[in-house]
A and B are shown apart, each in its own frame.
Chain A
Amino acid sequence: MFPDESGNESAPHSGQNIGTGESTPLLNYLLVIVAKLRFRTYFNIGICTLVVRLVWDWRLARIYDSQEQVFDEVVWDGHRTTAAIIVRLHEIQTGRMTAEARILAERFPEHDLSEPINFSNWPELNIEEKKALEKATICIAEKSIIRASSEPDNRLDHMIRAVDDLRMTHNSLESHVVEWISLILPWVDIDYKRSEIMHSFSKSSDLKELAKMLGVESSDVSLNQQEWIAMRSLAKNVVAQELAVDDLEKSIREIANTHLPSLSLLLGPLLAAKLCSAAHGIGRLARLPAGTIQVLGAEKAFFMHLRQGTDPPKHGYIFQHPWISKSSKRSRGPIARMLASKAAIACRCDYFGGKPWTTKEIAEIEKKVGEIRSRR
C-alpha cells in the first residue's frame, strides 16, 4: 500500500514536522515528502544522514533522526478514558505498537525501534496525565489480582492446606475429648467405639444419658455443670470439624477432577491436588521430571540423602496411592517409579491440552503394576 494512495488520508492525525538545528524548514519538508513516498529513509543529502528511530509510549509516537531531534510526531487525540489507557498500556507491555506508532511506522517504513526512555527530550507527564496513568495502573493491578485468584491452582492450594490443618486440629482435639471421657467413664472401650463417642457425647444432655448411649454403666463422678457444658461444646466442635473436612474434600475433588482430569483419574483427585499444590501449580508440575514427582513430599529425606548420604526416599506423597502403600515393601520402589512417570505424562496431558485419559489407559497401568508385583 502506497501512502500517497490511501495511507495518509486515512491517518487521523497528520504529522507535524519540526525543524532540526542544521537543516532548513524547506529541506525538512522535502525530506518528509520523500520519506512519505516510500523511498529509502536512509540516504545522504549533504547536510545530514537520515536514520529514523520510531519511539512511542501511551500518549504519543515520534520519529527521531540521528541527532536525536524530533522529526515527526503523532499525538493520541482520542478521548483519554481509563479503559482506553489500559488497552494502550497493555499493548506496550506486550511489545505491540499503539495506533500512532503504526501510523508513523507506515509513514517511515525503514525505521529503527527505540525506547522513549533513551531520549532526554521526551515529554514529561503533566498532572492530568499522571492522574490518568495512576487510575489506569490501579485498575490493572486490581484486574491482575483477580486474574491470579481465578486460577484454580491458588484456590486448590488454600483448600489443601486448610484441610491438612483442620485434620490435624481435629485429631488432637478429638483425642482430648476421648481421653476426658475415658477418665469419667473408664468402662468405655475407647479404641473400639471411638467413632461413636463423639456423636453420642454431642447429643447427650448429662452423664447418665451418655453412659446409656454408649452401653456402659454410669459412674458417680461428681461433675461440675460448667465442665460438662465446656467439654460437650468441644465435642460438638469436633463433630462440626469432621463435617467441614468432608465438605472441603468434596470441593477439592470437584476442582481437581475438572482442573486435572487425567491425573485425578490416575492418582485420585485428592492426591492429584496435593501434588499440584506441592509443586506450586499445575504449570510447574507439568514441567517437573518424573523423578521429582516421585519424591515430592519427601523433601526432608531427600535433602538428608544429598547432605549426609542416607538412602534416597523411594516415594513422597505418591505413597498414599494404594498401588504403592498396599504393595510389598520390595516392589514399592519400582511401582513408585513407574507411577510417577505416568503421573508426569498425565499431568502434561492436562496442562498442555492433550486428550484426557480414560479408564482404558488406567487399566493398562494397573496391569503393569500387577506385573511388577509378580516379578518381585
Chain B
Amino acid sequence: MTTFSERVKVQGRSLWSRNADKGVSLRGERLRREGKNEWRQWNPRTSKLASGLLKAEKSGLLPNSGTTCLYLGAGHGTTISHLHDHLCGPENKFNGQIIAVDLSTKCIRSLVLLSKSRPGILPILSDCRDLISISPFLPKRVPWIFQDVSQKGQVHIFIKTCKKYLEDGGTGLLSLKSASERNTKQAFEEARKALVNEGFTIVEQIDLTGWEDKHVLFHVVL
C-alpha cells in the first residue's frame, strides 16, 4: 500500500482519496467506508493526474495540503474534486485554494456547482493564454501548477504561466497530448527541449500509455 498523503493512497490496484464531501459520489465512483473515513476511488482513466500518480517513480507530484494551486484546463472537475479532497478537506479545513481555469462555459457551470458543495474551488472562465485575466485572483505566486489544455502550443502556454505564477522551487505538471501538436511524432522530444532551454529541471517524464494513450506528464521544477 502506497500512501501519497494523509488523504490520498493506493490500495490494491486503485487510487483512493478521502472524500471531503461525505456520501457524494461525483461521477459514480466507488465509495468505501473505513471506520470514520470515507474513501472515493480516483479513476486514472478520467484523470491524468491520477494516472501520473500511479505511474510515477518519483514523489512530489501532489501539492502540500492547504496551499494555493493553479489548475489550467479544469474541465468538468473530476480531477479538481479529488485534488480538493487532498488540498482542502471537508469544509475547507486546511484553507487550500484551487484556481480552476477553463475556457468552456459548460465546464465552468459544473465547476460552479462543484464549488458550492466544496469550498476552496475558484472557477474562472478565461482563456489560459490570457494571463492578465487570471492575475486578479492570484496575488502571490503558487507552489503548484497543473496544465491540461490539449491545444496547439501547450508547452508555450505552460512555460509562460510558470514563469509568471510559479514560485521558486515550485512544482509544475504539464500533461502533453501529442496529437494536438503539428509535429505529432517529435512532440514530446521538442517539449522536453523547450522546457530545459527555459531553465526548468525535468524531474520525470511520465508516459501515461495504458491509461491515456499518446499523453505524457512532465513533472518539472522551476
Chain A residues engaging chain B, CB cutoff 8 angstroms: 57-59, 88-90, 92-93, 95, 115-117, 122, 124-125, 127, 130-131, 133-134, 137-138, 140-142, 144-145, 148-149
Q: Which residues of A contact B35 (CB under 8 A)?
A: none
- For residue B123, give the distance in angstroms from its CB to the closest CB of chain A: 4
Q: Is the CB of A138 within 8 A of B139?
A: no
**A59 CA to B210 CA, complexed, in Å:** 47
Within 8 Å by CB of A141, from B125, B132, B136, B140, lies B125
Given A138-B115, A141-B123, A145-B125, CB of A89 within 8 Å of CB of B137: yes
Is residue B156 contacting chain A, with contact meaning CB distance below 8 A? no
Contact B112 A145 (CB under 8 A): yes
Taking a contact as CB atoms closer than 8 A, the residue among A59, A124, A137 that contacts B137 in the complex is A137
Contact A92 B135 (CB under 8 A): yes
Most buried by A among B95, B115, B116, B125: B125
Q: Known contacts A117-B138, A117-B164, A124-B140: does B111 contact A134 (CB below 8 Å)? A: no
Which residues of the other chain, B, contact A134 by a CB distance below 8 angstroms?
97, 115, 119-122
Q: Is B124 an interface residue (CB 8 A)?
A: yes
- Asked if B16 is an interface residue, CB under 8 A from chain A, the answer is no
A73 to B: closest C-beta gap in Å? 14
Cβ contact of A130, chosen from B97, B109, B115, B136, cutoff 8 A: B97
Contact status of A144 and B108, CB under 8 A, knowing A95-B132, A122-B139: yes
**Do the beta carbons of A145 and B105 come within 8 Å of each other?**
yes
**Does B209 lie at the interface of the complex (its beta carbon under 8 Å from any beta carbon of A)?**
no
Which residues in B have their C-beta under 8 angstroms from that of A145? 105, 108-109, 112, 125
Q: Are B140 and A117 in contact (CB under 8 A)?
A: yes
Known: A142-B112, A148-B105. A93 touches B132 (CB 8 A): yes
Expressed in whole angstroms, the minimum distance between the Cβ of A241 and any Cβ of chain B is 27
Closest-by-CB residue of A relative to B125 is A144
CA distance A57 to B134 in the complex (A): 12
Which residues of B are at the interface with A, using a C-beta cutoff of 8 A? Answer: 95, 97, 105, 108-109, 111-112, 115-116, 119-125, 132-133, 135-141, 164-165
**Are A125's CB and B120's CB within 8 A?**
no
Q: Are B112 and A93 in contact (CB under 8 A)?
A: no
With contact pairs A138-B115, A141-B123 given, residues A133 and B108 touching in the complex (Cβ less than 8 Å): no
Question: Which residue on chain A has the smallest CB distance to residue B123?
Answer: A141
Query: Contacting A137 at CB < 8 Å: which of B105, B123, B139, B140?
Result: B123
Contact present for B139 and A125 (CB under 8 Å): yes
| B116, B119, B136: the one within 8 Å of A89 (CB) | B136
Task: State the Cβ distance, B162 to closest chain A Cβ, in Å.
Answer: 12
Q: How far is the CA of A296 from the CA of B137 in the complex (A)?
A: 40
Neighbouring B residues of A57 by C-beta, 8 Å: 136, 139
- Of B97, B109, B123, chain A has the most CB atoms within 10 Å of the CB of B123
Q: CA of A88 to CA of B95 in the docked complex: distance in angstroms?
A: 23
The smallest beta-carbon distance between B12 and chain A, in angstroms, is 36
Q: A134-B97, A134-B120, A148-B105 are in contact. Are A117 and B135 (CB under 8 A)?
A: yes
B108 touches A138 (CB 8 A): no
Docked complex Cα distance between A124 and B165 (Å):
14
Q: Which of A127, A144, A149 contacts B95 (CB 8 A)?
A: A127
B138: A residues at CB distance < 8 A:
117
B97 nearest in chain A by CB position: A130
Closest 10 CB pairs of A and B: A92-B136, A137-B122, A144-B125, A89-B136, A57-B139, A141-B123, A148-B105, A145-B105, A141-B112, A116-B139
* Smallest Cβ-Cβ distance to B112: which chain A residue: A141
